[in-house]
Structure 1
Amino acid sequence: MTTVKGRPIEEWISEFPDLGPIIHCAPFYWSNPYAVESKKALQGQPLQLEDIQDAEARLKRFAPFISKAYPETENAGGIIESPLKKGDHIKARLETITGQKIPGAFYIKLDSHLPISGSIKARGGIYEVLKHAETLLQEHHLLSEKDDYSKLTEETYRKFFSQYTILVGSTGNLGLSIGVISAKLGFHVIVHMSADAKQWKKDLLRERGVQVVEHPSDYSKAVEQGRKEAENDPKSYFVDDENSTDLFLGYTVAAIRLKKQLEEQAIQVSPEKPLHVYLPCGVGGGPGGVAFGLKVIFGDAVKCYFAEPTHSPCMLIGMMTRLHNEVSVHDFGLDNQTAADGLAVGRASGFVGKVMEPLLEGIYTVSDEQMFRFIAEMVDAEGIHLEPSAVTGLMGPSYVVQNDPEITEEDTHLIWATGGSMVPDKIKEATYQKGVRYKADPDKG
């Protein structure tokens, strides 16, 4: 008999009946019973508004370097930010597909089109590398916060950074963002990639001079190996996707940026006009950081939901049972196999799960078949190609409307599109065609 923490699975299902459909891979919506008012939930948290503001200030210091190193960011003054786009066409398609009217405005946050690495990981991953670089330079009296950081493009600094190594374990996009920025600065970079990582991401990293180590196992093993290597070398730095507060803080800055964008588009956010945000979730750092930042900025006027694959609902199982990183999806018989490589994570971040437990409104799951169909629907409706991970947000509004009778035309729904612009054209076309087949016959895609 299969047991988890010494208890039969049947006993777990008896205590948490929602586990039944979840461990049978049925798409499911879970309303978080542990959520409390934001003000109460944010008291005593290890991170506060001043930490988010400090992270934003650091990114502004590095803007001259980013602008010079990446000319595509020059018009934005070296600020790495993504557009906020209205999504009326995809909203209409979702209403037709689900048979569920979605009251309120509908927007898409295009982190899929963030400069440099084309995914949400450009926020946390790039921020942590920049902070580490700044710390090293300040320790060696090579940089002052009053300096013009554009000088970091000079060969003197590349030579300095070449003495140091940065390591990370990744299913794909985090490794891509960290590899690209670290190599640009001059660091030696080693990215441990899990079996789920797409070949084109590994190829792109190698083209940029990054050492890629491939693992036949899943994400957790890649992280474990990267962490172990860093421990044995004092000049190595490990970006810990499971536990890093710096990574988390990089994501939180999105809330400050989004507030400005909402104001520019005259989108009001208040308890009477709430903002519902739907975030794809793997280990949890990206969506956790964004959601935490939003709660700090907007309080109870924002409602946050995580989306996970039906075969990899690690945050859902961890948060529901309150065991967080003490359990994995494998413990409950799930295989962690999904086309959504960025979400192919068997064990959630305990740090993020515990921070978000009192703040998150809910978690829902999406099947791979739904993801492929949504890829095609998004292309046809909005002309935007997203990765499988990035379309999981689209199912959220229908679930939320079904479970919350108080949603009105005053509400705003925001889909966080986490990646896709850097996918090679041939792969874009193949995934689109697969999605078209699912549109024609959902059972035979």
Structure 2
Amino acid sequence: MDIKNIIANNPLIRDMVDKKEVVWINPKEVNYSEYEKKLPINDEELKEAEERLKRFAPFIKKVFPETEETNGIIESPLEEISNMQKELEKKYNTEIPGKLYLKMDSHLPVAGSIKARGGVYEVLKHAEELAIEAGLLKLEDDYSILADKKFKDFFSKYKIQVGSTGNLGLSIGITSAALGFQVIVHMSADAKKWKKDMLRSKGVQVVEYESDYGKAVEEGRKNSDADPMSYFVDDEKSMNLFLGYTVAASRIKKQFDERGIVIDKEHPLIVYIPCGVGGAPGGVAYGLKRIFKENIYIFFVEPVLAPCMLLGMETGLHEEISVYDVGINGITHADGLAVARPSGLVGRLMDPILSGIFTVDDYKLYDYLRILNETENKRIEPSSCAAFEGVTSLLKYDESKKYIENKIGKNINNAYHVCWATGGRMVPKEDMERFLNTYLK
């Protein structure tokens, strides 16, 4: 791989290396009608994921009382944030035509982050397969029996392991421990202390690394592979995680329906999702595209200090290139997005459907958090606030403005913008106060 050549011949990558905020418009995006002819994941698989979560709802309701209101369905609110919209326009001298919403996966039950979708789903699927294979469970059973002691005793013979920067570890750890599994979470240096403390309080073994996310995953995978009773949840390569995230799409469609909101050509949907390794945003994006088809436009947002998905997709090298290769250190305040090498599985799945990627300076994450708190009285993790960079910059960059003019035209005035908040509910009060008082510039 001739890195010098890659940098020398690519002005966008030169800007990234210089730690400048950039926008990238995906040249491989295709018309949905073309994409639909060769879908990589069929509708049956998506439906199966949704059905499995319904089967587990009685268990979830029993073990996680916060899901009682929703009958064991793990879902988050969708809120219009018009006060923030006005403030963003004023403060950043930008235009946000249409309406702005916040999809609050930051407040998902069980794990308080978007990882409560994929992480919980993969653990439940693994538990179901083990219990059925052992003759302890049938598909038609009331799954609340999984909370019984005999199941906990059964699962306690098995181990689940995962490598994480924090939130995936929380979702895997909390769910696995509730079922009775032995759990080991391999945490990178970026992981926050409170996340490690919370996991340990649930009886989860936390292994800490002084290096990055990639090392935590590598060691976790190696450790798990050496133990026949261990199952590894692979954030970089797992199709089960990916399928768990896709279910978000049918859920948000229902929320739109309940509000009488119709997404069509005249009323397009534009979604902005913070991105680390890519699993959660990729799964959500895939599900959304299957439901809203040619009427949705999806952008990822990454920190300028760890733009791994952008680098992988722009070069076409995907997981074969790391931000370290081009001289970016990957150390960012957006701890959940502190990933040096993207998921190749997700990057390739996103090639035909992603609209583009924005990058954001760390200092803005705290600025956006303060604006959200002051205008809407809502608090999310700083890394979640990356989503606001997309909607704020959409019509500021020439490239994205031209993209919108070509694809949407005047219908941008009727657009629904959704910023996907990926984490925050479980942040301890003192940490959140510190975030609100952090100024990097």
Aligned partner of 2:348: which letter? K
- 2:398 aligned with 1:394, yes or no? no
Mapped partners of 2:328, 2:245: distance in 1? 29
Between 378-387 and 32-41, report the one with greater CA deviation: 32-41
Question: Which position in structure 2 is the counterpart of 1:26?
Answer: 20
Question: Which position in structure 1 is the counterpart of 2:324?
Answer: 330
Question: Which position in structure 2 is the counterpart of 1:168?
Answer: 162
Q: TM-score, normalised by structure 1?
A: 0.95
Question: Which position in structure 2 is the counterpart of 1:415?
Answer: 419
CA RMSD, aligned part only?
1.1
Q: Residue 415 and residue 8 in structure 1: after superposition, are their counterparts in 2 closer, same or farther (change >3 A)?
A: closer
Question: Which position in structure 2 is the counterpart of 1:96?
Answer: 90
Match of 1:375 among 369, 377, 385: 369
Q: Residue 216 and residue 410 in structure 1: after superposition, are their counterparts in 2 closer, same or farther (change >3 A)?
A: same
Match of 1:314 among 303, 308, 311: 308
Q: TM-score, normalised by structure 2?
A: 0.96
Q: Residue 153 and residue 326 in structure 1: after superposition, are their counterparts in 2 closer, same or farther (change >3 A)?
A: same
Mapped partners of 2:70, 2:77: distance in 1? 12
> By how many angstroms is 1:433 displaced?
1.3
Contact 1:16 1:321 in 2 (8 A): no
Mapped partners of 2:246, 2:240: distance in 1? 10
Mapped partners of 1:412, 1:24: distance in 2? 33
Question: Which position in structure 2 is the counterpart of 1:154?
Answer: 148
> By how many angstroms is 1:409 displaced?
1.9
Question: Which position in structure 1 is the counterpart of 2:433?
Answer: 429
Aligned partner of 1:377: which letter? I
Contact 1:48 1:296 in 2 (8 A): no
Aligned partner of 2:206: which letter? V
Contact 1:312 1:345 in 2 (8 A): yes
- 2:213 aligned with 1:219, yes or no? yes
Mapped partners of 2:171, 2:144: distance in 1? 20
> By how many angstroms is 1:236 displaced?
0.5
Mapped partners of 2:312, 2:33: distance in 1? 24
Q: How many residues align?
A: 431
> By how many angstroms is 1:14 displaced?
4.2
Question: Which position in structure 1 is the counterpart of 2:125?
Answer: 131
> By how many angstroms is 1:272 displaced?
2.2
Question: Which position in structure 2 is the counterpart of 1:347?
Answer: 341
SS in 1 for 2:102: strand
Contact 2:268 2:412 in 1 (8 A): no
Match of 1:303 among 297, 302, 321: 297
Mapped partners of 1:297, 1:16: distance in 2? 35
Mapped partners of 2:32, 2:172: distance in 1? 32
Percent sequence identity over matched residues?
Answer: 51
Mapped partners of 1:33, 1:199: distance in 2? 40
SS in 2 for 1:189: strand
Contact 2:3 2:325 in 1 (8 A): no
Contact 1:13 1:19 in 2 (8 A): yes
Match of 2:242 among 248, 251, 262: 248
Contact 2:95 2:392 in 1 (8 A): yes
Unaligned runs of 5+ in 2: none
Mapped partners of 1:87, 1:38: distance in 2? 30
SS in 2 for 1:76: coil
Mapped partners of 2:273, 2:107: distance in 1? 16
Aligned partner of 1:426: which letter? E
Aligned partner of 1:97: which letter? K
CA distances 1:14-45 after superposition (whole Å, capped 9, x unpaired): 43221111111111111111110123224433
> By how many angstroms is 1:51 displaced?
1.0
Mapped partners of 2:324, 2:140: distance in 1? 50
Unaligned runs of 5+ in 1: none
Mapped partners of 1:77, 1:15: distance in 2? 55
Question: Which position in structure 2 is the counterpart of 1:83?
Answer: 77
Aligned partner of 1:100: which letter? T
